[in-house]
Structure 1
Amino acid sequence: MRVYLPCTLPALAKALASGELGPAPLIGYAVTPALTEWYASGDTEELEYVALTEAARASLRMLAADRADGAPTPPRRVVVAAEVPEAMLTVAVDVAERARVRLAEPIPLAKVAAVHVDDPVAAPDVELAVVALPEADKGDDDARFTVDGAEAHELMWYATQEIPSLLE
């Protein structure tokens, strides 16, 4: 099953060095039965895009958490797409996050199919979104608009062999 795992550039560098995404448990996003039921008219490609978008939003949250901890993290969302056996997944029951899954084990980089990353031109909007995220979570419409500005940027696709160059 294709799973979209939120990440950051520093976390991706750690995964490259260790050979796996982890530690477990990991939160990811996939085409779950709840997502399929909710988005009844969508085909598989559309549903995977929804899961990718949810993972990109979670990456934004990871950026905010890193910044809160004082970690210097480039303002670019990162989503790792991996092929994972369904037996490794537990589907979340949260109605608000229909695509959310939990992975019980680290993911070897050999299971990674691709990496999706913001283009550097998106960095100013991502930076603003990281700052606005706490207020957006509280329901502030202006802050939500700012977060939506980052989400308006499409993530670029990178093959796994491009990861080292991406991290340079």
Structure 2
Amino acid sequence: MRVYLPATFAMLAGLKETGVLTARSGWGFAVTPALTEFYSAGDEEEIAHAAFLDASEASLRLLAIGDEEDFPHRRVVVSVDVEDAVVEVQPDQGESIVKLNPPQISVDDLAAIHIDIEESEAATKSAIEVIDASDLGDEDAELAVGDALDNFMAFYDPTELPFLVELL
């Protein structure tokens, strides 16, 4: 099953160093039956994109913690392919939310890495500052978060992980 994991650049560096990424609290995002039902008029690719966007929004929340030193304003989403047996659908948490058990992902599970480009940093910074207000329904904050989510995230092949960490 393809699962989208919200991450930060520091988490990527840890993955390069140890070969393992631990999904924060075990949470990820995927195409689930609840998400498919919610998007009754969409193809599989569009539904997968919705799960990906949920992961990219969760990356904003990780960045809001404030402990990312190198790239505090760049979202990161790691796409992984894992066995269905390690994925527990969590429809009471949200349509696309899944729990990984165990939450550790090997570098061999990587399918893709997505990182905000430099030009997206200003919008991402604004979204980080208002993510909590957005969750509470503040319309201006929701628009700021939406602007960040609309920004392009660069795609990297898993084999590029060492170069990303060293050269970015």
State if a TM-score over 0.5 links the two structures: yes
Q: For each residue in 1:94-145, what CA deviation from the matched residue of structure 2 results, as whole angstroms up to 9, or x when unmatched?
A: 26x2010000111111010110111111011101111111222222111111
Q: For each residue in 1:16-50, what CA deviation from the matched residue of structure 2 results, as whole angstroms up to 9, or x when unmatched?
A: 11101116752111110101111112221111111
Give the equivalent residue in structure 2 for 1:78. Answer: 76
Give, in whole Å, the separation in 1 of the partners of 2:39 and 2:49: 12
Q: What's the secondary structure of 2:40's corresponding residue?
A: coil
Q: What's the secondary structure of 2:113's corresponding residue?
A: strand
Contact 1:29 1:55 in 2 (8 A): yes
Which amino acid is 2:45 matched to? E
Contact 1:24 1:103 in 2 (8 A): no
Q: What's the secondary structure of 1:98's corresponding residue?
A: coil
The answer to whether 1:14 aligns with 2:14 is yes
TM-score if structure 2 supplies the norm length?
Answer: 0.91
Aligned to 1:103, which of 100, 103, 128? Answer: 100
Which aligned pairs between 1:1-168 and structure 2 lie closer than 5 A? 1-22=1-22, 25-65=25-65, 67=66, 70-72=67-69, 74=71, 75-94=73-92, 97-105=94-102, 106-167=104-165, 168=167
Give, in whole Å, the separation in 1 of the partners of 2:115 and 2:147: 16
Give, in whole Å, the separation in 2 of the partners of 1:71 and 1:116: 16
Gapped regions of structure 2 (runs ≥ 5): none
Gapped regions of structure 1 (runs ≥ 5): none
Please report how far the alpha carbon of residue 82 of structure 1 lies from its aligned counterpart in structure 2 after TM superposition. Answer: 0.5
Contact 1:39 1:47 in 2 (8 A): yes
Contact 2:5 2:23 in 1 (8 A): no
Superposition CA RMSD, Å: 1.5
Which amino acid is 1:115 matched to? I
Q: Against the structure 1 CA distance between its residues 71 and 43, is the aligned structure 2 distance closer, same or farther, given a 3 Å change threshold?
A: closer
Q: Against the structure 1 CA distance between its residues 141 and 116, is the aligned structure 2 distance closer, same or farther, given a 3 Å change threshold?
A: same
Contact 2:2 2:82 in 1 (8 A): yes
Identical pairs, percent? 37
Deviating runs (4+, > 4 A) in structure 1?
Answer: none
TM-score if structure 1 supplies the norm length?
Answer: 0.91
Q: What's the secondary structure of 1:117's corresponding residue?
A: strand
Give, in whole Å, the separation in 2 of the partners of 1:45 and 1:3: 14
